[in-house]
Each structure stands twice: as C-alpha cells, then as structure tokens.
Amino acid sequence: MKLQLPNESLNTKTLILLILIAYLFSLSMRYLWVMDVQGIEAFHWNNALMINTNDGYFFAEGARDILKGSHQAYDLSPIDNPASLLTAWLSKIIPVSFETLILYMPAFIGSLIVIPLILIGRALNQSTMGFIAALIASIAHSYYNRTMTGYYDTDMLAIVLPLFSLYFIVLALLHQRNRFLIPVTITFALYQWWYPQGYALNTAILVTVLLYALIFERKNHYIYKISLFIIIGILTLPIWMKLSIALAVFAFFHFQPKLDQKWFWFLFAGMGTVYFATGGIDPIWGFLKSYVLRESVSTDTAELHFYNVAQTVREAGNIPFTVFAERISGHTISFLLACIGYALAVFAYRPLLITLPFVALGFIAMSSGLRFTIYAVPAMALGFAYFLLFITQGIEKRWLRSITLFVFTITALYPNYLHIREYMTPTVFTAQEVSTLDKLGKIASREDYVITWWDYGYPIRYYSDVKTLVDGGKHTGDVNYPASYILTQPQSNAAMMARLSIEYTEKSFENNNSAIISSMLKDYKADTVDDMMVALQLNPALPKPTRDIYLYLPLRMMEILPTVTLFSYLDLQNPDNKPEQPFFYATQQIQDTGKTIELGNGISILKEKSILKMGSQETPIKGFYQVGYNKDNVLQVNEQHFASEGLNVIYMASYGRFVIVDDFYFNSAYIQMFVFEHYDKNLFEPVLLDPMSKIYKLKV
C-alpha cells in the first residue's frame, strides 16, 4: 500500500456540501443537551436556559456592561475582552435575547472547527479525510465538553482559529505563493487577540516551521518567509500594528523582489528582536510554572507562602491513560488507531508535521491535566481518518469502500455520541439561587462587595452587579487566604478579616500593591495573622468602612468546604510546617439499620452508645444536632449533648444529609451562619435567608 493516497478532486459545490453536512451534524449533537434539560424549570431564568460554565459569566458581565455603556472603577468587568466585545456586537444584530445568545454561541461558533479540518484535507487532495476528521473532532469528548451548548467561554474559538492558521501554513508549504503569507499573520494575530494564553502554542508552531525548514528545505527561502509572518502575527503588539507591519513587509517582497533575499535576514532579525523585546519566552515560562511544574505554594512580595490554587483544580491534575485516550478520540482503541494513522499521515504528507505542537500540548495532559487534551483532538482526528482511508484503499469497488468507511466512521463516532447523551451537565446555578442573587442586586450598590469562594464570583457579579473579593480569574494567595479565613473562622475573626480584606483590596488598586496580607501585618505591626487578630480583639481599630460588605453562603459550598479550608489553615511564614487538617465529613448515603446509622466509607453511628465508629476506631459524639425547615419554611434546631470531647454530628433533615465535624468546623462562620442561622447580632445582620443560599451583611 502507498502511504500517499490517490488524489481526490472535489468541485466547490461538493466541498461546501461536505462542510454544511459536518456543521449541521455538530450542531445537532449539541442540541441534545437542550432537549434533555429544556423541561427542567430550575435551569431557566428570564425565560431562557442558563449557561453551564462559571467562567461564562465573566464574559457575559463584560458584554452586559458594554451594552449598558458603563461600569464601576476596579469592578474587573472585562469590557475590553474579545469574547465580551464579540457578544455585545452579536447582541446588536441577532434578534434573540441576551441569555439565548450566550447559551447558543459556543455551539454555533465551536462547530466551525469542521471548516479548517475539511479545508486542510482538501489542500492535501484528501477531502474525505478532512470530512471524517471534522465529524470526529467536532464531537470528541474534550472538544464537545468545552464547546457544548451553554459552555460560553473563549474555548469556542481557541481551537478553530489556530486550525485556520495551520490551514494557511499548509497551503503556503504546498504552493509557496506570497499571497498565503498575509492570511498566516492575520490568523495568528486574531488567535493571540482572542486567546492570549495561546502564545505558547503559537511559538511552538513557529519553532516547528523553522525546524521544518532546517531539516527538509534548508535552502528554501520561502519557508523562512512563513516563519517571518508567523513572528509578526505573535508579536505582543496591538493587532492593527501587526497587520500594518505584515502589509508593509508583504509590499516590500512584492514590489522589490530583487532586494527580497538581500534584506530578508535583516527583517527577520529585526522582527526576532521585537519578539524577544515584547515578551519572548516569558509568557511560556509562566505557563509552564502554572500547569506543568505546579508548585504547591505561591509567594508574595513579603515572602508569605500561600496555597496554590492549581493544586485543587481537577483540570490541572494527572489523569489515567484511558480517560486521556477517551477525551481525545472517544475510545482507547480509536485513540491507538489514530496514533498509528497520524504517524503514517505525517510521513505521507510532510506539511502535517506542523500539527505536532497540537499533539505535544495535548499529550501534556497525561501529567498536567485533562484541560489540554482538547489540543490533540484535531490532529488525532486527522490521524484516524487517514488510517481508515489507508486500510481501505485496496477495496476496488467504490460502493463497498464507501460503505466500509461509513461503518467504521459511525463506529468511531458512537462512543462520543454516548458521552454526549451521558454528559448532562447542570447549569451553574439554579433558578432559586439566581433569584436570591437578583434580589441582592436590588439591595446592594454596585460599589458593594460580596465575599464568598472564588467558584461563585463571576455569577454573583453578573446577577447582582456587585464587586467580589475573589473570582475565577482573581484567586491568588493574597485573596484566597482571606476568603478562606472568613468562611472557616469564628464570626468575630471573620468579620474583622472581611472589613480588612475589602478595604485593603480597594487601596491596592490605587497604590498598585496586591500584597494585602503583608500590608495588613505591616500596618498592625504583627508577625502572623493570629497575632493581628488577637491585637484587634483587644483594640478593634479597623479601617473606616467605605462600602457595604455581604457574606454569601450557599449550600453547594458544603461540598468543597475542606478544599476552601486548605487556603487559610496553614503557616504563611513556614510552608513546611503543615498542621493536621481539621475533620469534616458530609454524606447523603444514609441507611438506618435500627441499631446503627450507616453513613458510608466505613462510618456509622452506634445509637445506643452515642458513638461514631470510623473503621475500627470509636469516637464519642460530643453533640447531635437535627436541623430542618418546618411547614412555614422556618429553620428549627434540636440539639443533644453527650460528651465534653469528640465530634459533632449534624443531621440536615431538609437536605437529607449528615455532616460530621470537629470543633474547628463547628464554630466556623459557614457552619454557624448557614447551617444553624446563628449569627452575632453585633457583627452581622441577615439580608436574604433561603434554604439554598444565605446572605448576611457585615455591620462593622
């Protein structure tokens, strides 16, 4: 069998038809989620389904403020973000509600991946390969997950744009015409504008093109031209400036062909100098430190050691090989065949070597987290498509070969289809939770702050139009520490830290000093936060309030409370001094056997002895608390005390869950104020008390 397959010649109408079929297929798969959740009332707000990714509310906030024409100073609204700008522009020309627009944008835009894949196939005279690859890539696990309906995020173009870059590079390598150089710069510049994190991938593609030239066509001047126009596209300069430079260089090549080679290397060296002067490899090093090296602590300017958020993000953790393979190709067998096909395709069609950075970045996922698998999807889809065409090229009867390709393609698509049917992700918040935030927006001012965990920052900003201490993008140690501290410490400490953190945050915007914890310690002449709190208890000299502060305590936070605790239950001065973590266990796996209450994971309550049995160890129950709502929706608390030491057992009857905690968690602001609605009237006042989320206003 020949590695290079027989050339296919398709007319433009047939090509457009293939693109249309693949695009509609991708859209139809993304509509399955809508069909399944359309009838769930809790997923609707303002007569529309809500989105299902937290980060989407960040871009929605920016688009909302662009359309509104105003926002508050230091509110972190992304009014200059490309996704927000695109959304605001589309909102003006597409006659649907804003909520409907952001719901469907990822499906319609993310499905565009089929276009560059089919075009790459056509450029290689293998349109069938591009078509099969487009079908598979469009619904592969990781790509679908991050471009499904409701997943409103920059991911909807994060693969599409660089694939267009690859398409124009392939065209340039195959035809070596200057007219393909400007599209190369445009697509690279657009990708970097849309997704600045793509700088590392762009640079990797540049290096690959240079290696391609050095290894295979060292004396081919045109290949170095491609590299030059890639450099221009990824310069850390405004997009209009990059396009102006590209047009000027192109004009020079076009109108002064005799001077082209004479001056080319001066231009190349000049652009290379600008590249290193405007960033170079610094962003790449930052990327490696965040996701590949993943240090467990981060350090501020005063040498305080905070817990690193990357350690708690599932997307940045190690994953098993089967998960890795399934996310890229749908099934382990499909993935292995795709790898074989990809290797053969690269040998058969040398320009496909330019896809190696995608594969390399995708394979980093094995050690650096599943979020990167999305990059390997298009290259592996091309590999699988090539493998099918390669093994069936010996079938002489065209109809039989077509049927064989159809059957194998459907077989490869089926595991991805099953994943889509099972991947019924919920909306970020329920309508009941959003209703509470909507009410808060009518109470609080736009200058007020809401303190909660960073997972909920963006939705709160969108629905309540307030400021937040932490959010999905602002979660360095200096803000995660106080947020964690406020939620897990007793109310007196929580109240003081709440006022301190917000006032120091506002000051940090003005003096450009984000090290708010070290600033507090310096101003209060304390060595540790505990020392500072003791001093404040004796002499509560808090900053003068400049705005109201609200504490947002949702039920859903209970699932992550131990993770929240990690960020403040540590020694900031000595990261090696790791205290034993306090005890917390929550479960809805409850079975009453008569003599015991089984709570799963080897934990049970021995009723007669009032003892907790955890494996072979028995621990006394210090107190038993039954908490629930009566028919008037008023919280009722019944408590019994059994011992002076031990663990506390809380039965949250209305939620059908048991919570077992030690005194640290029991006395925390979250447990006391959410579970029991116990609050210090001198420090807090209730604003909105709902079974799903409770909001208190700070009084100090």
Q: What is the CATH number of the domain that holds 531?
A: 3.40.1380.40
Measure the CA–CA gap between 211 and 184, rounded to whole angstroms: 18
185 and 162 in a common domain = yes
For position 290, what pLDDT does the model report? 54
Instruction: Give domain status of residue 1, yes or no.
Output: no
160 and 237 in a common domain = yes
For position 9, what pLDDT does the model report? 79
For position 304, what pLDDT does the model report? 84
Instruction: Give domain status of residue 50, yes or no.
Output: yes
- Mode of pairing for the β-strands spanning 449-451 and 549-554: parallel
Domain boundary among the residues 398, 422, 446 is at 422
485 and 351 in a common domain = no
Instruction: Give domain status of residue 374, yes or no.
Output: yes
Measure the CA–CA gap between 487 and 558, rounded to whole angstroms: 11
For position 284, what pLDDT does the model report? 60
Instruction: Give domain status of residue 183, yes or no.
Output: yes
444 and 413 in a common domain = no
Distances (CA, A) of 348 to 1, 3, 328, 353: 12, 5, 22, 10
For position 274, what pLDDT does the model report? 82
521 and 615 in a common domain = no
481 and 393 in a common domain = no
Measure the CA–CA gap between 668 and 551, rounded to whole angstroms: 13
Q: Helix, strand or coil for residue 55?
A: coil
Global pTM reads 0.91
Measure the CA–CA gap between 326 and 420, rounded to whole angstroms: 13
Rounded to 5 degrees, φ, ψ at 39 are -85, 0
131 and 255 in a common domain = yes
For position 60, what pLDDT does the model report? 97
Considering the chain, what is the average pLDDT of its residues?
91
Element (H, E) at 12: helix 12-37
pLDDT tens, residue by residue, 235-248:
988 999 999 999 98
Q: Report how many domains make up the chain.
A: 3
Query: Could you tell me the residue range of the domain that residue 364 belongs to?
Result: 28-422
Distances (CA, A) of 464 to 162, 305, 596: 36, 33, 45
8 A C-beta contact, residue 445 and residue 547: yes
458 and 332 in a common domain = no
8 A C-beta contact, residue 467 and residue 75: yes
Domain boundary among the residues 381, 398, 422 is at 422
Provide the b/e sequence for 322-337 (b: ≥16 CB within 10 Å): ebbbbbbbbbbebbeb
Instruction: Give domain status of residue 4, yes or no.
Output: no
- Mode of pairing for the β-strands spanning 449-451 and 467-468: parallel
Instruction: Give domain status of residue 10, yes or no.
Output: no
Instruction: Give domain status of residue 154, yes or no.
Output: yes
With a cut of 70, which residues of the chain have pLDDT below it?
A: 1, 257-262, 280-302, 310-318
Measure the CA–CA gap between 522 and 488, rounded to whole angstroms: 24
Instruction: Give domain status of residue 12, yes or no.
Output: no
The β-bridge partners of 554 are: 693
Rounded to 5 degrees, φ, ψ at 636 are -120, 135
For position 319, what pLDDT does the model report? 78
The token pair at 321 is: 């090989």
170 and 97 in a common domain = yes
Domain boundary among the residues 537, 566, 595 is at 566
615 and 497 in a common domain = no
For position 665, what pLDDT does the model report? 97
516 and 538 in a common domain = yes
616 and 553 in a common domain = no
Measure the CA–CA gap between 98 and 81, rounded to whole angstroms: 17
